[in-house]
Amino acid sequence: MPVLVGNVVEGTITGITNFGAFVQLPEGKTGLVHISEISHDYVSNVSEYLKKDQKVKVKVISISEEGKISLSIRQAEPKKTSRKPAEIDWAKNNDRHKSMSFEDKMAKFLKDSSEKQEQLKKKDSKRGFSQRGRKI
């Protein structure tokens, strides 16, 4: 597949730097994957994600007038997100509450809620805010 902007091609990592990785592309061309284009996650160390001679799929982002090729690994594969909510094991979480009556659960909730409200009020008063949210 030719190296054109927007194409996804396979290449080989030829060098790793602290700002990205160089990739050997088809037709003998070389491009750079900037550190921000390596993963959907935050990357602080390129070597934790890529190794020399590793095969990678990259998307060609741009080709400058001087012939410099900008590449992206993260855009070559869409971000994997789950649209369904996290699974919760209700049986495990429910064991300690089974013996509590509704009134006990409500009393516990109100107590916890009041404690959290007091903590927030103390935190705000340390910052110099009144109880109504105005700066003192």
The structural domains of the chain, ordered by start, are: 8-72 (2.40.50.140), 98-136 (no CATH)
Structure confidence at residue 100 (pLDDT):
79
Q: Structure pTM? A: 0.56
Contacts of 48 (CB under 8 A, 6+ apart): none
Burial letters for 52-63: b for 16+ Cβ neighbours within 10 Å, e otherwise?
Answer: eeeebebbbbee
Note the pLDDT tens digit of each residue in 10-43. 999 999 999 999 999 988 899 999 999 999 889 9
pLDDT higher than 90, residue 61: yes
* pLDDT digits 0-9 by tens, 78-116: 766 656 666 766 666 555 666 778 888 899 899 999 999
Count CB-CB contacts under 10 A for residue 71.
Answer: 29
d(CA 63, CA 71): 9
